[in-house]
Structure 1
Amino acid sequence: MPIIQAHDGFLTVFNMFTCETLAGQDTIVEEMKQIVDNAAYPGWISSTVHAGCDSPGTANYIQWRSLADLEARYAGADYQNATVPLFQRISTSVALLKTEVVFSQHHPDLDQIEISPLRDDYTVIIVMDVEPANQPALVDALGRPDHWLMEVAGYRSHAICRGIDGTFLILYAQWENKQHYDAFHHLPEHRRPAEVRQVRAFADTVITGRRANTYRVVHSRSAAAVNRAN
């Protein structure tokens, strides 16, 4: 199953879709599964499909060998003439976000950050918009070891992914369940360590927009698994 690790050398793409209903979400998930199960593109490493929890929508966490490989896939006739029109028709918004993992941290009880439908992670994905001039400082602020977070009940892991166009960051986090995440999310500021409050306060000064949802992993496939089967 796919592993998230800082500076892994992959291009990490978040294909994120919103829709109005759970039925629409189910349709997108099924279409994504078909694409993932038939993926055999040069440079494709893995795809992991997430179904929305708090709001209808999906996210596909995709690892590519390089930007050139991704662009070759996007330029293909099948993608342009079939895939793009399909998802434009069945979703209310589409975001194809190209990133690199610049920081990752996991609880000591875990050996690594694994994303898999065989796990029960409550996944949080937050997209944070930022001016290009401020992206390096935001990466530096958020991409630091957080020892306090290791002690928060229900925390499992998180990663910071830098948008390669300089305009955003993505936080990808795994929690034990919704109850633990909500307790952390709504924790009063005065109960957080001073250094954590400082980072959060700085982030609020440079982040120009946020979009967030929670997810469960429902499907995954990797090129490594395909190669082992052949």
Structure 2
Amino acid sequence: MPKITADGAHLTVLNLFTTDAPDKQDSLLKAMREIVDSAAYPGWISSTVHSGQDKPGTANFIQWRSSEDLEARYEGEEFKHRTMPLFTEITTSIRLLQNEVAYTHQRKGNAVTEVSPDRGDHTVIEVFGVAGENQEDLIAALGPDQEWLEEVPGYRTHTVLRGLRARGLDGHFVVVYSQWDGKKSYDAFRAVSEPQRSAARRKTEARVEALATSHDWNTYNVVHTRSAER
């Protein structure tokens, strides 16, 4: 199964799609599975398909050897004349985000962050807009400054990705990819009123709010993964 590490060994791509109906989400998932199962692109390492839960949509967590390999895929006839027209027809938005892993943290006892449908994670993907000069400060606020998550019931892992470039999203950005043991735990975490939140949580959330220019999120279940043969 794919592993998330902050070792700079490869490019991490998050393709985020939104749609306006459950049947269109099903069509997206079917098309994404077919692409993943036939993938044999130079430099492609792995793809993991996620099904939207709180809002209709999908996510594909992809690992590539390099940005050059990915851009070669984007310039291919199949991607330009079959893949993108199909996705455009059944989506309301498409964001293709290229990133590098800046920080990752696991609850004690877990040595590495893994992505697989076998884990049963309730996955949260958040996208933050940020001014270029504040990107590193936002990464710190979203990453090392949130080690208090260790004490939150249901928390499993927390990864911060530095946005490098994107299609379908303007400006600089940071992505947070987190894993929880279930929807109940994550909803309870979000529902804690501000006065009941820890001082460390209030401090970092205030810092994030001051730095971020936009913020959106959705929750997902991992439904399919495949890696290139080594």
SS of the equivalent of 2:117 reads coil
Deviations 1:181-202, CA, capped at 9 Å, x for gaps: 0111121223333233222111
**1:173 maps to what in 2?**
178
**2:87 maps to what in 1?**
87
Deviations 1:4-45, CA, capped at 9 Å, x for gaps: 112342111111111111111010000000000010111111
Q: Distance in 2 between matches of 1:147 and 1:81?
A: 45
Q: Does 1:54 align with 2:59?
A: no
Deviates more, 1:93-102 or 1:142-151: 142-151
- Contact (CA 8 Å) 2:148, 2:200: kept in 1 or not? no
Per the TM alignment, residue 77 of structure 1 is displaced from its structure 2 partner at its CA by 0.9
**1:97 maps to what in 2?**
97
TM-score by length of 2: 0.94
How many residues are matched? 225
- Contact (CA 8 Å) 1:53, 1:215: kept in 2 or not? yes
- Contact (CA 8 Å) 1:7, 1:103: kept in 2 or not? no
**1:63 maps to what in 2?**
63
SS of the equivalent of 1:128 reads strand
Question: After the TM superposition, which residues 86-165 of structure 1 pair with which residues of structure 2 at under 5 Å, given as runs?
Answer: 86-144=86-144, 146-165=146-165
- Contact (CA 8 Å) 1:7, 1:100: kept in 2 or not? no
Q: Distance in 1 between matches of 2:72 and 2:2?
A: 22
Structure 2 counterpart of 1:210, which letter?
H
Displaced runs of 4+ in structure 1, greater than 3 A? none
Q: Does 1:214 align with 2:230?
A: no
**1:9 maps to what in 2?**
9
Q: Distance in 1 between matches of 2:88 and 2:159?
A: 29
Q: Does 1:188 align with 2:193?
A: yes
- Contact (CA 8 Å) 2:160, 2:177: kept in 1 or not? yes
Q: Distance in 2 between matches of 1:111 and 1:213?
A: 26
Q: Distance in 2 between matches of 1:158 and 1:66?
A: 23
> How many percent identity over aligned positions?
48
**Structure 1, unaligned runs of 5 or more:** none
- Contact (CA 8 Å) 1:157, 1:173: kept in 2 or not? yes
- Contact (CA 8 Å) 1:43, 1:64: kept in 2 or not? yes
Per the TM alignment, residue 146 of structure 1 is displaced from its structure 2 partner at its CA by 3.7
Per the TM alignment, residue 55 of structure 1 is displaced from its structure 2 partner at its CA by 0.7
Per the TM alignment, residue 63 of structure 1 is displaced from its structure 2 partner at its CA by 0.5
Question: After the TM superposition, which residues 9-28 of structure 1 pair with which residues of structure 2 at under 5 Å, given as runs?
Answer: 9-28=9-28
| Distance verdict in 2 for CA 1:43–1:138, change over 3 Å | same
Deviations 1:72-103, CA, capped at 9 Å, x for gaps: 11011111111111100111111101111100
**2:168 maps to what in 1?**
none
